[in-house]
Amino acid sequence: MQVPKLNKILVTGAQGQLGTVLANLQTQAQALGMQLLLANKNTLDICQAQQITNYLDAHDIAAVINTAAYTQVDQAEANVDLAWQLNAEAPALLAQACQQRHIRLLHLSTDYVFDGSKAQPWSEKDPTEPLNVYGQSKLAGEHAVLAAQPNALIVRSSWLFSQFGNNFLKTMLQLAQHHDTLRIVSDQIGGPTYSPHLAQALLIMLQQSLSPNGLPSGVYHFSGQPYTSWFGFAQEIFLHAQHAGMVSKIPQLLPITSADYHSAGLRPKNSCLSQTKLDLAIGKQENDWRLGLNDSLQIRGSPCFN
């Protein structure tokens, strides 16, 4: 019996949090008819057009998930050129090369393309007005990708966390080792997103996009539920960590305002993303971030414990 051929999916930024999570979903990808090829900055520099061309031509790629990005929000204010290169110029090169080869591109973006002024969750049709260099560079990347490949998929997400990479969950646990009191912003709200939940949704999106009459192109939102503040997120982190036996004592958490939190890059007050469009397109996917906390903390060998 002949084994069906798997569609080869290139994952860029494989050294990052989302790329690492996707690498752990190879079995799930194969069940959906896909094989993930993982490329980090050492094996594929997406800032170099020739490297992109060489890689795509050598591997018979069916689609690309671009998770590579400059994500350090505050440092981006000083490293403008680097943020712009990685978040805007490199995705443009990738989209151009994909378009020339009829390869579908799925590009990751962020809630920080919005200014946070709206009272309700943001839809894909809402006007964008980023407050910081990171958000501005990511928005430029969205525009560049869709200009080069009109049938590309853009997925905006928010507040990613897992046991991998650098994120709020791991920062809280590390700070708690050395501080009895933590000051946490309470007037910024959003949807913490468990990276494996996002990764699984991305695989479903790609599976459908590669089928006849598949997923329509354009911008989609995927965000964890329920919405909460950074302060509320921190409270849940320590409650789950204590239940998992990771901390013997929960630090005192003090709510502060954005004005009290001195950072180089401004953050939107409302980062809540409406996921209705994606739910209608691919069906409701798991996105309860509290389940993600359980998953992240339950394994004693997890990087969260280091």
Asked whether the predicted pLDDT for residue 302 surpasses 70, the reply is no
pLDDT tens readout for residues 128-158: 999 999 999 999 999 999 999 999 999 999 9
Rounded CA separation 74/262 (Å): 10
Torsion of CA 41, 158, 205, 281, to 10 degrees: -160
Q: Which residue did the predictor score with more confidence, 127 or 178?
A: 127
| 200 lies in some domain | yes
Whether the bond between 226 and the residue before it is cis, its omega within 30 degrees of 0, is: yes
pLDDT tens readout for residues 64-92: 999 999 999 999 999 999 999 999 999 99
Residue 187, Cα to own-chain centre: how many angstroms? 22
How many structural domains compose the chain?
1
| 261 lies in some domain | yes
| 152 lies in some domain | yes
Q: Annotated catalytic residue: which of 55, 70, 112, 134? A: 134
pLDDT band at 211 (very low <50, low <70, confident <90, very high): confident
pLDDT band at 301 (very low <50, low <70, confident <90, very high): very low
| 277 lies in some domain | yes
pLDDT band at 242 (very low <50, low <70, confident <90, very high): confident
Which percentage of the chain shows pLDDT scores above 90? 82
- Structural domain of 190: 7-305
| 2 lies in some domain | no
Q: Which residue did the predictor score with more confidence, 68 or 4?
A: 68
| 1 lies in some domain | no
> What CATH number is associated with residue 137?
3.40.50.720
Whether 112 sits among the annotated catalytic residues: the reply is no
Rounded CA separation 46/52 (Å): 6
pLDDT on residue 61: 95
Q: What share of the chain is helix, strand, coil (3-state, %, to 5)?
A: 40, 20, 40
